[in-house]
Amino acid sequence: MRNTRLTRQEGKALTRGRLVTAARHVFLQRGFHAASLDEIALHARVTKGAIYASFAGKSELFLAVLDAHIEERLRVLATATFPEEGLEAVARRHARATLAQGPQGVRWVSLMAEAWTHAAGDLELRSALAERQDRLQQGVAALVSKIGAAVGVTFALPPREMARAASALIRGLILERLLGPGRLSDAQFEETFAAFICGLARPAGDLK
């Protein structure tokens, strides 16, 4: 029977996981700048020293949070299916799924915008964020290709550029909603995204 006592490596991995979970919560609640390592340590029920035993500082901890988020998103993208749906239905379903994330989805977009802005003056962080954004967009691009094949269309832009443009539109629409209630209704959000996606589509094999 295996000894239930954790090895040092297992204990470190467990603490790291707790810190990433706690950091995600604090970052979403406070934002990138206002989040403090003291509060993250308190939320994780560890000492601040435990953070520095696993991470060089707040930026590295944020990147670990982002890595976990990206891995989850890539798993979702890889398993997406489109049973008997046309392109418009797929686009509308994605828009509604985005809206269904509610305040947490809005906070995530706001957090990323803050982190990207901060990284403008930090070359190392900017490079790390760009690498992760590229990794996520590769997954979205694969989904774009999958959607095109499933519904019988091609797009005016290459899959990677479709992924970039669609993601940027979603972020922009979400940030627009931060300016006030009713500024951009759920229906307008859905209509705008569906019109954008369908407007760049053409029947498969149509080269015009």
Mapping DSSP to helix (H, G, I), strand (E, B) and coil, where does residue 167 land? Answer: helix
Q: What is the CATH number of domain 80-203?
A: 1.10.357
Q: Could you report the per-residue pLDDT of 63-88, keeping only the tens digit for each?
A: 999 999 999 999 999 998 887 779 99
Ramachandran angles phi, psi of 4, nearest 5°? -80, -5
Fold (CATH) for 1-57: Arc Repressor Mutant, subunit A (1.10.10)
DSSP string, 113-154: HHHHHHHTT-HHHHHHHHHHHHHHHHHHHHHHHHHHHHHTEE
What are the b/e assignments for 161-174, b being 16+ CB within 10 Å?
ebbbebeeebeebb
- Report percent pLDDT > 70 for the chain: 96
- pLDDT classification of 7: cutoffs 50, 70, 90: confident
Ramachandran angles phi, psi of 181, nearest 5°? -60, 140
**Residue found under tokens 């627009």:** 176
What DSSP character marks residue 83?
A: T
SS3 content of the chain, % helix, strand, coil (to 5): 75, 5, 25
For residue 208, give the H/E element and its range: none
**83-102 mean pLDDT:** 91
Instruction: Report the relative pairing of strands 201-203 and 153-155 from DSSP bridges.
Output: antiparallel
**Residue found under tokens 């797929």:** 90
Which residue ranges make up each domain of the chain? 1-57, 80-203
Same fold: 1-57 with 80-203: no
**Residue found under tokens 């706690």:** 22
- pLDDT classification of 1: cutoffs 50, 70, 90: very low
**112-118 mean pLDDT:** 95
What separation in angstroms does the CA of 31 have from each of 6, 11, 65, 165, 167?
34, 29, 13, 25, 21
The full length of the chain comes to 208
Average pLDDT taken over every residue of the chain:
91
pLDDT on residue 4:
66
- Are the beta carbons of 154 and 202 closer than 8 angstroms? yes
- pLDDT classification of 8: cutoffs 50, 70, 90: confident
Q: Could you report the per-residue pLDDT of 154-171, keeping only the tens digit for each?
A: 999 999 999 999 999 999
Distance in angstroms (rounded) separating the CA atoms of residues 30 and 44: 15
- pLDDT classification of 13: cutoffs 50, 70, 90: confident
pLDDT on residue 14:
85
